[in-house]
Structure formats: structure tokens, C-alpha cells
Amino acid sequence: MSAVMISRKVTRKWEKLPGKNTFCCDGRVMMARQKGVFYLTLFLIIGTCSLFFAFECPYLAVHLSPAIPVFAVLLFVFVMAMLLRTSFSDPGVLPRALPEEANFIEMEIEAANGNVLAGQRPPPRIKNVQINNQIVKLKYCYTCKIFRPPRASHCSICDNCVDRFDHHCPWVGNCVGKRNYRYFYLFTLSLSLLTIYIFAFDIVHVVLRSVDSGFVNTIKETPGTVLEVLVCFFTLWSVVGLTGFHTYLISLNQTTNEDIKGSWSGKNRVQNPYSHKNIFKNCCEVLCGPAYPSVLDRRGVMLEDLSSPAPSDASSTNKSSNPVSQTTKSSAPLIPNEHTPDEAKPGIGAGTQKSASSPKDEKPPSPTSPNAVTPGVIKESAH
């Protein structure tokens, strides 16, 4: 029985991911659904910088130094790169539990809670763990069916649990979490510098020109300056303040989410167990830590009758050629054999065995409806 190649449109895993994200470029880009404010951010930054390059830079390059526009360009490129990196990357989304794992956790909970009398409300699903001599409560997520790891939180806008969840930023059009927090911080920092830079040189330009031709004439010659000053003035207060706030959070190794909830505010002698008690160490961990990989295999191929492995990009995991459906129920995982293409991931589930795949072909992969096979009952009580 040879493997028959059926030419079908390749379905990648991002198309079947639960949650309210939008994906672009065939799964390479991941954002939240509401992108209106993100477009506004782009418009404001690109618009203001364009005005700066059009009106101020020619004059300043000639009268002061050509380094001024050069540095402005570098700053602008850095700001845009950080913004796009923050907006387009996976913030650290935790995939939802597959049915077997969800059942296993359910049974653990039932075993821990003991017998609950009919009519009585079951106790809240909480696990206590001790981290650095501090008791931390792990909450159960009813949507994702997992106990959230410490510092993870469920974003209701994106409908995902995000690791080291900071906040959902509409300006950036994405959640800010473990994987993109440093890009977000560098974005706010560089944007503050860019805003201060443009604001300062606007003033310098107006002053220099007014000395030559008078204030009113200057405004007539370069009307864009007024707009830039206005935008920069309001941006300054918000962005510089935000940068300062996040610098404070980084030095204490806290997230915005923890700060808002007052998790480590110090009452009841509760302290932040993740802080190294050293500002330098905290900053290093957050800003210079390792580049965590995405655990969402967005570009992996879902149908296993296609043997073409998906090319992997920098932000996807190294298992992009894994053809096994992520909603495999109780069928055996595929085992590599002599037919496995060399570049397929070694380990479980990289083979292209037809015999094992036939029961999965009929069932459309749908991670949101596991009820067909789940033996146990998954309680969907509100949380």
C-alpha cells in the first residue's frame, strides 16, 4: 500500500487555532482582532515623521548638521521595527489542553476535592505551589482547561491564556506577554526618544527660522511644524510616562497585571517571589533573557497526506513539519519509519503513515469540540 499523494489545499494549524486572533501572511503574523487603534498608531508615527523629514530636515541639515536627519531616520526605523515586532509576534500564548490532558486535570481536581454533596457548590479550582518560600495560587482556566502557570493570565479580548501576561495593548494591537515584552518596552523607550527628538528640533527650527524671517512667516513656510508640535506634546506626556512606569516595573520584576491587582503590594507580608531583589538582575532578566520560542505551531501542516514540510520562520517552532493533527484523540501517534522525509521532525508524529491516518481523515480537526470522544464530562461552569 503506497502512500497516495492527494493534492489538497494545505491547511496550516493557525487556521484551526481557537481564540480571537487574526493571522496574516499564512500564519507568520499574529494580532488581535481589533486593529483600528494600531492603524492610528502607525498613522501618527509615520505621519509626524514624514512631516519632520519634509519640513524640518532640509533646513536643519543645511543650517546645523546633516547628522540630524540621519539620526532621525535611524530612530524612526528602530521605532517601527519594535512596533511591528511587538504587534506581529506571538506574545506567549499557551495552547489549550487537549481532551486527554483536560480529563486528567479534571480527575485530579475531583480527587483533591473529595465528595461534593449534591446541591453544594464545588470549591474553587485552585492549586497552591510554593515558589521561593512564597505560596502562589494557580487558578484554573475554564476556557483553556488548564491550571494557569504562575504569572499567566487569560486575556478576554484575545481569548487566550498568555504566559507572563502584562496587558492587552490596543495601540499595538496585541497582548504584551513573555515573548514580546522587551520589544514593547524598547518600542515605548525609542518612541519617547523620537518624540523628544522631534519636539526639540521643531523648537530649534522655529527659533532659528524666526530669527531670520520672523515667527509668523516661519509658521507660513512650514505649517507642518505646528501639527508636529501638537502631536509630540500630547504624545510626550503619555509615552514618556508609560516608559517610566514600565522601567519601574522591570526593576521590580513585576507585570502590569500584578501591579494593578496588587499581588505583591506587601500586605499580609506577601512579597514578589520572582524578584531577584537586585535592580540590575531584574532588568537583565527581563531585557536580556533568552528569546523564548513560540509553543503555538502556527505554520505546521494539519493534513498528513501532504508530505511537503512547511518552511519554518524565526518565530515558529522547529516542529513546523509535524503533519499530525493537533486534535488527535485516542489514536496512536505516528512513529518515524523509512518513509519519513529527512527533514521531518525526529520524534513522535513525523511520519506519513496512511494506515494510521485514515480514522483521522474523516473527522475534521476541530479543537473546540472535543466532546465526541471525551469519556468524562467537562464542567463548563462560569468562572
Partner 1 sequence: MATEFHNLQELRHSASLANKVFIQRDYTDGTICKFQTKFPSELDSRIERTLFEDTVKTLNNYYAEAEKIGGQSYLEGCLACLTVYLIFLCIETRYEKVLKKISRYIQEQNEKIYAPRGLLITDPLERGMRVIEISVYEDRGSSGSSSGSSTTSSSGR
Stated as kind and residue range, the H or E segment containing 130 is: strand 126-131
Beta-bridge partners for 147: 140
Give the catalytic positions in this structure: 169
CB of 85 to partner 1, least distance (A): 6
Residue 290 touches partner 1, criterion: CB under 8 A: yes
Residue 322 touches partner 1, criterion: CB under 8 A: yes
Residue 293 touches partner 1, criterion: CB under 8 A: yes
Taking CB under 8 A as the criterion, the residue among 1, 117, 118, 288 binding partner 1 is: 288
Residue 349 touches partner 1, criterion: CB under 8 A: yes
Residue 226 touches partner 1, criterion: CB under 8 A: no
Residue 268 touches partner 1, criterion: CB under 8 A: no
- At 365, the amino acid letter reads P
Residue 153 touches partner 1, criterion: CB under 8 A: no
CB of 96 to partner 1, least distance (A): 8
Torsion angle in degrees (nearest 10) through CA of 207, 51, 192, 87:
180
What is the distance between the alpha carbons of residues 127 and 205, in angstroms, rounded to a whole number?
61
What is the distance between the alpha carbons of residues 125 and 250, in angstroms, rounded to a whole number?
30
CB of 57 to partner 1, least distance (A): 22
State the binding string over 113-142 for partner 1 (x if CB under 8 A, else -).
Answer: ----------------xxxx---x-x----
- At 164, the amino acid letter reads R
H-type alpha helices, the chain: 36-51, 57-63, 67-88, 99-113, 181-213, 215-221, 224-235, 241-252, 256-261, 279-288, 354-362
Q: Is 347 left (phi over 0), alpha (psi -120 to 50) or beta?
A: left
Residue 318 touches partner 1, criterion: CB under 8 A: yes
Taking CB under 8 A as the criterion, the residue among 106, 166, 228, 297 binding partner 1 is: 297
Taking CB under 8 A as the criterion, the residue among 314, 372, 377, 382 binding partner 1 is: 314
Beta-bridge partners for 12: 301
Beta-bridge partners for 137: 128
- 25-33, 146-154, 205-213, 360-368 -> range binding partner 1 (CB under 8 A): 146-154
Taking CB under 8 A as the criterion, the residue among 126, 203, 287, 373 binding partner 1 is: 287
Taking the chain, what is the end-to-end CA distance rounded to the nearest angstrom? 51
Cell 481523515 found at: 361
What is the distance between the alpha carbons of residues 329 and 364, in angstroms, rounded to a whole number?
12
- 38-46, 207-215, 226-234, 285-293 -> range binding partner 1 (CB under 8 A): 285-293
> Can you give the binding site for partner 1, defined by CB under 8 A?
77-78, 81-82, 85, 94-95, 97-98, 100-101, 104-105, 107, 129-132, 136, 138, 146, 149-151, 164, 183, 186, 273-274, 284-285, 287-293, 295-297, 313-315, 317-319, 322, 326, 330-338, 345-349, 356
